[in-house]
């Protein structure tokens, strides 16, 4: 293992790619601490020192930005607009036939879809930066801080100041998108995923240190031990797959024989990735947002439905919130898998190239068999996603950890997934040069 790591740094091309990737990551992290124009840096630091945290959907955005959201930095939005734009573009393939046609056109069509995703990212960046600035001006960005300065984060409320802040944060999102593409082209690959990995990993030390300060060293080491076990289980499930064998019949074209080989269709237990967790978190934030806008301005008595939503959906440690969150993740998992994996399309492609599943007729019976297997494999995958997503909420209710508890939810899924993919990328590049990979 150590010899393989040494080979990485002895290979000039690979060493240069890793150094370039680390340099881009350093620039990305530096931008997370540079405040946007007209932001009172001192008041922001006072609110952060008071252990104030974002609430609702902003917890997820703050996690994906590596804490830059609460810093109100030029990279405050992080990579979240790009993630949202990518998901929307993928879902629009079902609704807009032109998008589906572009996807099937190969590299040229997918390049066009990527361009649409970039445009949508900028539009979402304008929308999200405007919302963030509005929330910061109202003093609601930091939840339950008890610090008076949290309502005085912006030094100038003039329209030109707000416009400059929106332009700066949106430009920061565009720059992050460009940095991710640079890593993909000139670095070790998976640029956007590596930036998300960096953002989430940057929050680990502060989250763990907060647990130590709140509960002592015994709970701290217990959390570390549980985290190692959870990480091992997540790696096991993420690598698990149901392999459906496929055989291709031999074909004679002139004097040459094609086909006749055996392969398989890998159906992962977790085909949906972290998307259902993002969907469920965003949807559950809407009731709290509606209730927040219906609070009486003069301090009067709020309507009963507002009080009920505030009591049940404002905090993640509520049992009803956990139950609804779990059920939404299970439902969104089936929904997303049904969109991204089309059994009929796979069956048609197999039939087109002379492939068949042993014991199953080509065509419609193959599609029905694939749908049968996919439905049953998705069930444990959806339950697994729901349980992993509940880990931060359970930790919040038991040891008093913050909602960005590192060993659970979207954070652990992304950390493990990107880590495994990055290791595979480095391993494949080592095999190209030394005929021996990083892992044996």
Distance of CA 180 to the CA centre of its chain: 14
Predicted pLDDT of residue 6: 74
**Angstrom distance (rounded) from CA 239 to CA 223:** 24
Predicted pLDDT of residue 171: 92
Tallying the residues shown for the chain, one arrives at 440
Q: What is the CA radius of gyration of the chain?
A: 24
Q: 73 — phi, psi (to 5°)?
A: -90, 180
Predicted pLDDT of residue 1: 59
Q: What is the DSSP string of 359-417?
A: TS-TTHHHHHHHHHHHHHHHHHHHHHHHHHHHHHHHHHHHT---TT-SSSHHHHHHHHH
Predicted pLDDT of residue 53: 53
Predicted pLDDT of residue 145: 53
Which residues is 27 bridged to in the sheet?
none
pLDDT tens digits along 374-411: 999 999 989 988 888 888 777 666 665 555 566 667 77
Predicted pLDDT of residue 170: 92
87 touches 124 (CB < 8 A) = no
**Angstrom distance (rounded) from CA 136 to CA 132:** 6
Predicted pLDDT of residue 290: 72
DSSP state of 257: E
Residue 264: its H or E element: strand 262-268
Predicted pLDDT of residue 433: 67
Predicted pLDDT of residue 270: 86
Predicted pLDDT of residue 122: 92
Residue 263: its H or E element: strand 262-268
Cα dist from 331 to 196, 324, 337, 383, 408, whole Å: 25, 11, 10, 10, 20
Cα dist from 226 to 238, 270, 348, whole Å: 18, 22, 45
Which residues, given as ranges, of the chain have pLDDT below 50? Answer: 52
134 touches 185 (CB < 8 A) = no
How many beta carbons lie within 10 A of that of residue 19, not counting itself? Answer: 12
Cα dist from 82 to 175, 293, 351, 431, whole Å: 11, 27, 36, 32
Angle at 150 between CA 28 and CA 82, to 5 degrees: 30
Predicted pLDDT of residue 95: 82
Predicted pLDDT of residue 300: 62
Predicted pLDDT of residue 167: 92
């Amino acid at each position: 293992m150590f010899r393989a790591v040494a080979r990485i740094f002895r290979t000039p091309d690979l060493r240069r790619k890793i150094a370039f990737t680390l340099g881009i990551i350093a620039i990305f992290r530096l931008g997370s601490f540079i405040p946007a124009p007209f932001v009172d840096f001192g008041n922001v630091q006072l609110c952060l020192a008071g252990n104030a945290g974002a609430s609702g959907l902003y917890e997820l955005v703050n996690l994906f930005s590596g804490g830059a959201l609460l810093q109100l930095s030029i990279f405050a939005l992080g990579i979240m607009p790009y993630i949202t734009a990518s998901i929307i573009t993928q879902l629009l393939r079902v609704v807009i036939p032109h998008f589906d046609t572009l996807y099937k056109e190969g590299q040229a069509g997918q390049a066009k879809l990527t361009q649409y995703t970039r445009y949508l990212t900028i539009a979402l960046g304008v929308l999200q930066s405007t919302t963030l600035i509005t929330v910061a001006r109202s003093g609601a960005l930091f939840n339950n801080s008890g610090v008076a300065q949290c309502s005085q984060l912006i030094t100038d409320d003039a329209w030109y100041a707000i416009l400059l802040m929106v332009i700066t944060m949106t430009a920061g999102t565009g720059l992050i998108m460009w940095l991710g593409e640079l890593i993909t082209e000139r670095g070790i690959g998976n640029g956007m995923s590596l930036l998300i990995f960096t953002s989430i990993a940057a929050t680990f030390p502060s989250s763990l240190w907060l647990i130590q300060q709140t509960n002592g060293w015994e709970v701290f080491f217990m959390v570390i031990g549980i985290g190692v076990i959870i990480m091992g289980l997540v790696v096991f499930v993420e690598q698990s797959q149901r392999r459906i064998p496929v055989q291709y019949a031999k074909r004679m074209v002139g004097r040459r024989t094609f086909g006749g080989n055996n392969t398989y269709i890998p159906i992962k237990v977790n085909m949906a990735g972290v998307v259902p967790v993002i969907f469920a978190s965003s949807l559950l934030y809407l009731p709290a947002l509606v209730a927040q806008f219906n609070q009486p301005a003069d301090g009067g008595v709020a309507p009963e439905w507002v009080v009920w939503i505030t009591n049940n959906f404002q905090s993640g440690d509520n049992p009803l919130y956990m139950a609804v969150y779990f059920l939404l993740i299970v439902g969104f998992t089936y929904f997303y898998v049904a969109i991204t994996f089309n059994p009929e399309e796979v069956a048609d492609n197999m039939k087109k190239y002379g492939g068949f599943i042993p014991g199953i007729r080509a065509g419609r019976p193959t599609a029905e068999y694939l749908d049968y297997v996919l439905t049953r494999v998705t069930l444990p995958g959806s339950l697994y996603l729901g349980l992993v997503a509940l880990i931060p909420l359970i930790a919040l209710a038991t040891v008093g950890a913050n909602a960005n508890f590192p060993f659970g939810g979207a954070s652990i899924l992304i950390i493990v997934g990107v880590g495994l993919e990055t290791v595979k990328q480095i391993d494949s590049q080592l095999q190209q040069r030394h005929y021996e990979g990083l892992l044996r």
